[in-house]
Amino acid sequence: MTDMQLISLTVNGDEHTLAVESRRTLVDVLRHDLGYTGTHVGCEHGICGACTVLLDGQPVRACLIFGVQADGCEVRTVEGLADGDELSDLQQAFSRCHALQCGFCTPGFLMLAEAYLAEKDGRPADEAEVREVVAANLCRCTGYQGIVEAVCSVAADRAKASG
Amino acid sequence: MTRWIGAKVPRKEDGRMLRGRGRFVDDMRPPGTLHAAFVRSPHASATITSIDLEEAAKTAVGAFTSADLGDPFLLAVLERDEFTPTRMPLLAGDRVRHVAEPVAVVVADDPYAAEDAAELVVVDWDPRAAVTDLRSAADGPAVHSGLTDNCVVDLVMFDDERLDEILATAPVVVEAEFDSGRVAALPMEGRACLAEWDDRDEQVVVHVSTQVPHQVRSGIAQALGLPERTIRVIAPDVGGGFGLKCVVGREEVVVAALALRLRRPVKWIEDRQENLTAAFHGHEQHYAVKAAFAADGRILGLAADIRCDIGAYSAYPFTCAVEPLMAATELPGAYKVPAYRARGRGVATNKPPTAPYRGVSRPQIVLVMERLMEKAAAVLRMDALDVRRRNLIDKFPYAGVNAISYDEGSYRESLDLAEKKTSDWPAECDRLRSRGLLAGIGFSCFSERTAYGTPTMSQRRMRMTPGYDTAHVRMDPTGEVVVTTGTCGHGQGHETTFAQIVADQLGIDPGQVRLRQGDTDLTSYGWGTFGSRSIVIGGGAAGKAAGVVASQLRRIAAFLLEVSETDVELSEGAARVRGVPGAEVSVAEMARLVHFQAHQLPDDCRYALEARQSADPPGTFSNATHAALVSIDPGTGGVRVERYVVVEDCGVVINPLVVDGQVRGGVAQGIAAALYEQLVYDADGQPATASLMDYLAPTAAEIPPIQIFHLETPSQHSETGAKGMGEGGTIGAPAAVLNAINDALGSDFDHIPVLPHQVLASSGGNR
Ligand code: FES
Ligand code: FES
């Protein structure tokens, strides 16, 4: 199998050009070709959401997308969330609410929640809606409560900040 | 003086995880890494007539059968006559015993190429009849030659001769059978390993996603016939384990063998299909129980015949006896049972082997006891909580009929508080019913023996007996501390909680304490993390070692401040003279002196500030009451857990954040076992649940908020007063949910999971 394609993509603001096999998934391109190992693989069949990244702002399962499909796209991964040493409000809330234990599912949840909060654009969130959104991903450790609380608390803070 | 124990200290682990900078096995990729792919059996039972590697070898860097590796195997042994050891070949050579059993391995420069090459391996199979059903396994062909009745272990643990008489004469005898489905532990990170040869140390360094690095080292050493020194096992960040990773996987040993042979890094990352079909499973059990009750609801006697489906092999090092032994020994649980008989059998089938999945038989035995309480209450027309109250252990230490001495607990109190905290639930049920739903409430009470030390474990008679653990505490010249432990966290926040324990001893900030774990070269031989042992045994050892260092600091301070040692106390980074404000010397200053100017100290203060201590308690007993309120849609049979309350007592709580997180995660797994999860096999042993499309792990939409209340009865057997608690959530939830379903439907389900079509069939008759 040497069906190689040249692709370019921007990850967290940095541009990369590389040759990939057409069958290579985006998550493998990110993790193994480009070294963004923060994004995890939990199932490779689109159920667990551990591999969630933002592709042109939209949350996608990077195991269900080929690297070649990301040609010319902008990708955001968990490595791009903190501002230098400063964790984002969402990352801080995850720690405060004990929304992670082993941390394996965490990057996927952060990216999913990040997209959701961006879409809310400062409008307040209700818990039922947050539960429905985070139900897209699986976590085996936390029982989800901390995750729901973290996302709700950031939504509330951002709503307050945007008046 | 205790300051950090009990505080909601935010976790040290979080920063790197939240930045995506955790280091899991698959995040490591040394140059020249080869990727392994296993060729697995499509048959549950078959003879292998030939394996042809020729085509595969053309595209791969290497392709190997069992013979190529010297037919290595793992062997777990229980030193009992009633146990038959079964060799688990790393790669099956002549015969396969379950679907997805590995028979060959190929390595290539890229995982995609490795999978391509694996597909080119041609195996000739001669399929045989498979044994897949626990109840009829005795009549099937032998899974291993030499097995009678396919029974690998058959233990009569207790046999009170008065029992027949009691059962014959008791006012009420409840007789029932209980079943629980085969489930997957399903950590989000599957199994994973990367082995590389290190020329400098002449060692193969094996990074494994494991809970038990030392046992992985011992397993590799024994299987490959190597001295333990030649192997270094490192568990980096581990993405959940839940018991699946407390046994040694054959793939891990194969990868180590390949790295040794090829002198190149070799990696294997389990995919989810392998995880569901080829990894260790848990909890497939059947109970036939008879219980005698007095007219006032007191239990008079209990007899149980327990069978556990252990799959095709005994997992290393624990053996397959873990489940039957636990079940037969601990069935009475939180209740006073005066007469007891139990037989526990481990039955081999052509399914993957089982591992000690979170809870180990206790979700099942609690389910049995809690159903018995309900059934007895129904016959006697008594309140089921009152029947429980009559039977709960209420005086401590309690000498159980199962030869267990129960540590102090709050069994009655937890039930009373749970009842109080759910007093508005009947009204909630009415509300749900007015919306056309069915609704019910269920309780479960349990004691959870945790932190099994060697005094307890030795009774099982494993050739490798776990139980003790050792910690080393060392202060550096700046007054910061490194702790090493043989326990090995995989999400439980040990870096934080161990630091809290040590910081309290030394009067420093937990931020100045770093934990090293999961590396066989750095830590004393230890048993890793399982059985809710880490904070009690590992944390206890760390607390003891820190106590020794603290006494060294006090001695140095006494010399420097010219006071008696007993007048010195350590707090907030300094040694202070009690009652004399300002008379103090900082811990950092003493650390500097010890290391850089030892000559300024008297002999008995030099070369100090480190200590190694072990802990090996007989075990601690956490307890809890769980309560669940479920609603049921009579149209779909769908069950929803609406409300959930846990009243739990794990002794001294080291970090409430961590404890609550463990409880919630455990309850989620218990609800899953009650309502959703089951590995399904057909009569030929083919799995029907090979992906997460079919194996239903619950999401945030299925798991309700879980309200937790704490009682604190410190354990005398634990250094800190803490009791183990990592499994309790999983243990209590299935019974509480099942009781709630039965309450809602007026049904008598005695199995888990309870699936929508079964609910529909039952509620159909009820409407
Ligand atoms: S790894 Fe992509 S959804 Fe599970
Ligand atoms: S924190 Fe372990 S899977 Fe979510």
Q: Indicate the pLDDT class of residue B1, thresholds 50, 70 and 90.
A: low
Is there a contact between A8 and A72 (Cβ–Cβ < 8 Å)? yes
Ligand 2 site, CB within 6 A = A 100-106, 139-142; B 188, 240, 491
- Residue A113 Cβ contacting ligand 1 at under 6 Å: no
Helix B539-561 × helix B587-596 angle, to 10°: 80
* Digit-coded pLDDT (tens) for B54-113: 999 999 999 999 999 999 999 999 999 999 999 999 999 999 999 999 999 999 999 999
Q: Hey, what's the torsion of the CAs at B456, B348, B750, B647, to 10 degrees? A: 30
Nearest to A38 among B21, B113, B493 (CB): B21
How confident is the prediction for chain A on average, in pLDDT?
96
- Residue A59 Cβ contacting ligand 1 at under 6 Å: no
Give the residue, out of A31, A32, A44, with the most ligand 1 atoms within 8 A of its beta carbon, to mutate for a pocket test.
A44
Q: Do B20 and A36 touch (CB under 8 A)?
A: yes
Q: What is the pTM of this model?
A: 0.96
Is there a contact between B655 and B722 (Cβ–Cβ < 8 Å)? no
B105: which residues sit within 8 A by CB, 6+ positions away? Answer: B36, B37, B38, B39, B63, B64, B91, B254, B258
Tokens of B216: 């992985």
Which CA distances in Å does B185 have to B4, B26, B245? Answer: 33, 20, 9
Tell which residue, B112, B130, B213, B171, has the closest CA to residue B485. Answer: B213
Considering every ligand atom, which ligand is closest to the CA of A147?
2
Which ligand 2 atom sits nearest the alpha carbon of residue B491? 2
* Digit-coded pLDDT (tens) for B129-144: 999 999 999 999 999 9
Q: Which of residues 476-505 of B touch A (CB under 8 A)?
A: 490-493
Give the whole-angstrom CA distance, residue B531 versus residue B543: 20
Q: What is the DSSP letter of B230?
A: G
Q: What is residue B692's three-state secondary structure? A: coil
End-to-end CA distance of chain A: 56
β-sheet bridge partners, residue A53: A60
Q: What is residue B766's three-state secondary structure? A: helix
What are the chain A neighbours of B700 within 8 Å (beta carbons)? 131-132, 134-135, 144, 147-148
Instruction: Report the largest interatomic distance among the alpha carbons of chain A, rounded to a whole angstrom.
Output: 56
Q: Is pLDDT at B619 greater than 60 in this prediction?
A: yes
DSSP B469-532: EEEEEEE-TTS-EEEEES---SSS-HHHHHHHHHHHHHTS-GGGEEEEESBTTTS-S---S-TT
- Strands B192-198, B266-269: pairing is antiparallel
Is there a contact between B476 and B457 (Cβ–Cβ < 8 Å)? no
Length of chain B in residues, anyone?
767
State the best of A11, A41, A53, A145 to mutate against chain B, taking most chain B CBs within 10 Å: A145
Q: How far does the centroid of ligand 2 lie from the alpha carbon of residue B491, in Å?
A: 8
Q: Is B691 touching A (CB cutoff 8 A)?
A: yes
Q: Do B237 and A40 touch (CB under 8 A)?
A: no
Q: Is B30 touching A (CB cutoff 8 A)?
A: no
Tokens of B383: 């309140």
* Digit-coded pLDDT (tens) for A67-77: 999 999 999 99
Q: Is B677 touching A (CB cutoff 8 A)?
A: no
* Digit-coded pLDDT (tens) for B631-668: 999 999 999 999 999 999 999 999 999 999 999 999 99
Q: How far does the centroid of ligand 2 lie from the alpha carbon of residue B529, in Å?
A: 17
DSSP A55-111: ETTEEEETTSSBGGGGTT-EEE-GGGSSBTTBPPHHHHHHHHTT--SS-SSHHHHHH
Q: What is residue B12's three-state secondary structure? A: coil
- Residue A111 Cβ contacting ligand 1 at under 6 Å: no
* Digit-coded pLDDT (tens) for B683-742: 999 999 999 999 999 999 999 999 999 999 999 999 999 999 999 999 999 999 999 999
Tokens of B140: 């099937």
Nearest to A43 among B493, B658, B692 (CB): B692
State the best of A140, A148, A154 to mutate against chain B, taking most chain B CBs within 10 Å: A140
Tokens of B242: 């839940």
- Strands B203-208, B281-282: pairing is unpaired
Tell which residue, B408, B367, B360, B330, has the closest CA to residue B721. Answer: B408
Give the whole-angstrom CA distance, residue A12 versus residue A36: 10
Please list, residue by residue across B516-547, b when 16 or more beta carbons sit within 10 angstroms of its beta carbon and e when fewer do.
Answer: ebbbbebbbebbbbbbbbbbbbbbbbbbbbbb
Q: How far does the centroid of ligand 1 lie from the alpha carbon of residue A21, in Å?
A: 20
Q: What angle do CA B234, B235, B239 make, to 5 degrees?
A: 160
Q: Do A82 and B19 touch (CB under 8 A)?
A: yes
Distance from CA of B701 to the nearest CA of A (A): 6
Is there a contact between B631 and B439 (Cβ–Cβ < 8 Å)? yes
Give the whole-angstrom CA distance, residue B69 versus residue B80: 31
- Residue A11 Cβ contacting ligand 1 at under 6 Å: no
B675: which residues sit within 8 A by CB, 6+ positions away? Answer: B639, B641, B698, B702, B737, B753, B754, B755
Q: Do B706 and A136 touch (CB under 8 A)?
A: no
Distance from CA of A21 to the nearest CA of B (A): 10
Residue of A nearest to B704 (CA): A145
- Residue A61 Cβ contacting ligand 1 at under 6 Å: yes
Considering every ligand atom, which ligand is closest to the CA of A65?
1
pLDDT of B767 reads 43
Nearest to B19 among A45, A50, A79 (CB): A79
Tokens of B10: 């935010």
Query: Starting from the edge strand earliest in sequence, which strands make up the sheet with B584-586, in order?
Result: B568-571, B574-577, B584-586
Q: How far does the centroid of ligand 1 lie from the alpha carbon of residue B192, in Å?
A: 16
Could you tell me what percent of chain B has a pLDDT over 90? 95
Is there a contact between B209 and B529 (Cβ–Cβ < 8 Å)? no
Give the whole-angstrom CA distance, residue B266 versus residue A153: 44
Give the residue, out of A40, A52, A102, with the most ligand 2 atoms within 8 A of its beta carbon, to mutate for a pocket test.
A102
pLDDT of B766 reads 46
Q: How far does the centroid of ligand 1 lie from the alpha carbon of residue B240, in Å?
A: 16
Which of A37-51, B423-437, B457-471, B478-492 shows the lowest mean pLDDT across its residues? B457-471
pLDDT of A29 reads 98
Q: How far does the centroid of ligand 2 lie from the alpha carbon of residue A107, in Å?
A: 10
Give the whole-angstrom CA distance, residue A78 versus residue A62: 13
Considering every ligand atom, which ligand is closest to the CA of A101?
2
Tell which residue, B497, B405, B496, has the closest CA to residue B455. Answer: B405
Q: How far does the centroid of ligand 2 lie from the alpha carbon of residue B189, in Å?
A: 9
Q: Is B726 touching A (CB cutoff 8 A)?
A: no
Distance from CA of A48 to the nearest CA of B (A): 8
State the best of A37, A104, A131, A149 to mutate against chain B, taking most chain B CBs within 10 Å: A104
Nearest to A42 among B272, B667, B729 (CB): B272
- Residue A48 Cβ contacting ligand 1 at under 6 Å: yes
pLDDT of B457 reads 87
Residue entry with tokens 């995040």 = B27
Give the whole-angstrom CA distance, residue B617 versus residue B717: 6
Residues B524, B525, B530, B536, CA torsion sign: negative
Tell which residue, B421, B150, B105, has the closest CA to residue B266. Answer: B105
Q: Do B18 and A82 touch (CB under 8 A)?
A: yes
Which CA distances in Å does B235 have to B36, B148, B217, B387, B494? Answer: 19, 39, 11, 47, 14
pLDDT of B2 reads 56
Give the whole-angstrom CA distance, residue A96 versus residue B569: 32
Q: Is B607 touching A (CB cutoff 8 A)?
A: no
Q: Do A145 and B271 touch (CB under 8 A)?
A: no
* Digit-coded pLDDT (tens) for B360-375: 999 999 999 999 999 9
pLDDT of B495 reads 94
DSSP B378-398: HHHT--HHHHHHHHB--SSSE
Residue of A nearest to B27 (CA): A37
Considering every ligand atom, which ligand is closest to the CA of B22?
2
Is there a contact between B725 and B409 (Cβ–Cβ < 8 Å)? no
For the segment B315-324, the average pLDDT, to the nearest whole number, is: 94
pLDDT of B146 reads 85
Which ligand 1 atom sits nearest the alpha carbon of residue A48? 4
Query: Starting from the edge strand earliest in sequence, which strands make up the sheet with B620-632, in order?
Result: B438-450, B620-632, B639-649, B706-711
Tokens of B136: 């009829």
Q: Is pLDDT at A135 greater than 60 in this prediction?
A: yes
Which CA distances in Å does B21 have to A53, B488, B493? Answer: 15, 19, 16
pLDDT of B594 reads 97
- Residue A80 Cβ contacting ligand 1 at under 6 Å: no
What are the chain B neighbours of A87 within 8 Å (beta carbons)? 15, 18-19
Considering every ligand atom, which ligand is closest to the CA of B273?
1
How confident is the prediction for chain B on average, in pLDDT?
96
B656: which residues sit within 8 A by CB, 6+ positions away? Answer: B6, B8, B710
